[in-house]
Amino acid sequence: MSRLLAITGRSPFSTTEEAFVQDELETMVRHHVDLVVVPTRMATRTPNSGSVTSGLIDHVVAEPLFSPRVLLGAVRTVLRHPVASVRAVTEALVDAGSRRNLAANLISVPKALWLAGYVRTVGATHVHAYWFAHQATIAMIVGRIAGVPWSATGFRWDIDAGNALDAKIRRAAFLRVADELGERILRERVASSDRPDSPVHLIRTGVAMSPPVPSFDGADLPVLAFPGGFVEKKGHRYLAEALRTWADDGRAFELHLFGDGPLRGDLENRFESAGIRGRTTFHGAVELEVLRTFLRERQPIVVLPSIRADDGQEEGIPVSLVEGMANSCPVVSTRTGSIPDLVLDGCGWLVPERDPDALRGALEDVLSRPAHTAEVLLRARDRVAGEFDREVSTMRLVELCGAAG
């Protein structure tokens, strides 16, 4: 009997982060996977309501980074396995790759040492970490000390961060990515490593499929939804510029933003300057089910004017666009990162990045041709159903972890 131990960042002790990770874990619970979930940290004192309703919380072992139990367990691990502990921790720190990675790994050491002893207590046969960052560092330390195979899922920023990535390539049973850009970057890194045959698997981040909507009728009062963090690569400023003309013409529309982040103040100022602040609703960071309900009930145009940021950050496959397509919403975005790998021809509207005129033109096209838009929605839903169904993608990951275990 195999038992999977999953390491998360904060899920399910968060209401806004890692919703797609929790989706995957809840799918495992529905399929009766023998699962133990260990969040690295806790953003909230209590688990979110979704984890309680789904029964996921019954599989969770939550400990703060530096609880007495963690610290005592770490000491016990060092006393029982002094050589293996020193080697595992040294590798994670020496190969960290940056001061930021080093700090993240360092504060994760006690939890990793505690977990190295805990995996044997619960009989885990495989450890899987979500994120290639310090979560995978914990899994790597656990694997070396406890002798349990481990793997990790990487998304976008955590691949770019390069946190002890060469060591993780060398030690992992396999590494999973969710989009083609991440796959290309990781395979190049693997090819130049001392383990060029390290397995890399592309497994999508899946979503739940809603029943298809055969029509689109949003021209009278256009409703737009922007789901995403307020960070540079999301390209908010270009959305403000794209909608300025609508505001100047007195056109009625609603803009709903779901998310939060460091650029919120700048974004509010830009919307005020563009004359669209009064048409805009900031919902803040919400649980994924709240967003899904809005998509199903309002059928907005999901717009994401993403860019390649000045620091090199760009999109993988945004879960917000996948959710839009799965819920029969038109999606308008840009040809940047891995977005074109999701929004294929005829499945949505893609424009050049940093081009507000092209963005506005795509929005106009969605609204001016409702029959054509309805056809696009059906193709988009078929696209997501064929490759992003969370039931299929989750169980593929489980099978890989079971084989490794």
Q: What is the distance, to the nearest Å, from the Cα of residue 163 to the centroid of all Cα atoms in its chain?
A: 17
Under DSSP, is residue 218 helix (H, G, I), strand (E, B) or coil? coil
Task: Print the SS3 string covering 75-131.
Answer: HHHHHHCHHHHHHHHHHHHHCCCCHHHHHHHHHHHHHHHHHHHHHHHHCCCEEEEEC
Torsion over CA of 338, 340, 343 and 344, rounded to 10 degrees? -140
Among 340, 319, 307, 295, residue whose Cα is nearest residue 390: 319
The answer to whether 306 and 235 have CB atoms below 8 angstroms apart is yes
Token output for 354: 């940093």
pLDDT at 128: 98
Token output for 382: 């078929």
The answer to whether 258 and 286 have CB atoms below 8 angstroms apart is yes
List, for the chain, all residue ranges whose pLDDT scores fall below the cut of 70: 1, 219, 403-405
Q: What are 53-101's pLDDT values in tens digits?
A: 999 999 999 999 999 999 999 999 999 999 999 999 999 999 999 999 9
Among 222, 287, 276, 214, residue whose Cα is nearest residue 253: 222
Decide whether 4-206+389-404 matches 223-387 in CATH topology.
yes
Residue linked to tokens 């033109």: 361
Compute the distance between CA of residue 319 and CA of residue 76 in angstroms, rounded to an integer. 41
- Omega of the bond prior to 12 within 30 degrees of 0, cis? yes
Q: How far is CA 170 from CA 186, 196, 203, in A?
A: 13, 9, 20
- In percent, the amount of the chain with pLDDT more than 90 equals 76
- Residues with Cβ within 8 Å of residue 137, at least 6 apart in sequence: 92, 104, 105, 108, 112, 163, 164, 168
pLDDT at 404: 62
What's the DSSP call for residue 346? T
The answer to whether 77 and 145 have CB atoms below 8 angstroms apart is yes
Compute the distance between CA of residue 255 and CA of residue 300 in angstroms, rounded to an integer. 9
Q: What are 192-242's pLDDT values in tens digits?
A: 999 999 999 999 988 888 888 878 877 678 999 999 888 899 998 899 999
Token output for 18: 């890692």
Under DSSP, is residue 34 helix (H, G, I), strand (E, B) or coil? coil
pLDDT at 1: 67
At the top level of CATH, the class of 4-206+389-404 is alpha beta
pLDDT at 386: 84
What are the phi and psi torsion angles at 351 (to 5°)? -130, 165
Compute the distance between CA of residue 152 and CA of residue 172 in angstroms, rounded to an integer. 8
Q: Where are the domains of the chain?
A: 4-206+389-404, 223-387
Compute the distance between CA of residue 388 and CA of residue 373 in angstroms, rounded to an integer. 21
Among 155, 148, 171, 156, residue whose Cα is nearest residue 36: 148
Provide the greatest CA pair distance for the chain: 73
In the CATH scheme, what is the homologous superfamily, with its name and number, of domain 223-387?
Answer: Glycogen Phosphorylase B; (3.40.50.2000)
Across the chain, mean pLDDT equals: 93
What's the pTM value of the predicted model, to 2 decimals?
Answer: 0.86
Compute the distance between CA of residue 25 and CA of residue 11 in angstroms, rounded to an integer. 10
Compute the distance between CA of residue 2 and CA of residue 16 in angstroms, rounded to an integer. 31
pLDDT at 287: 83
Q: Exposed (0-12), middle (13-18) or buried (19+): which is 284, by Cβ within 10 Å?
A: exposed
Token output for 141: 């330390």
Under DSSP, is residue 27 helix (H, G, I), strand (E, B) or coil? helix
Number of helices and strands (H, E) in the chain?
Answer: 17, 12
pLDDT at 405: 53
Compute the distance between CA of residue 343 and CA of residue 278 in angstroms, rounded to an integer. 31
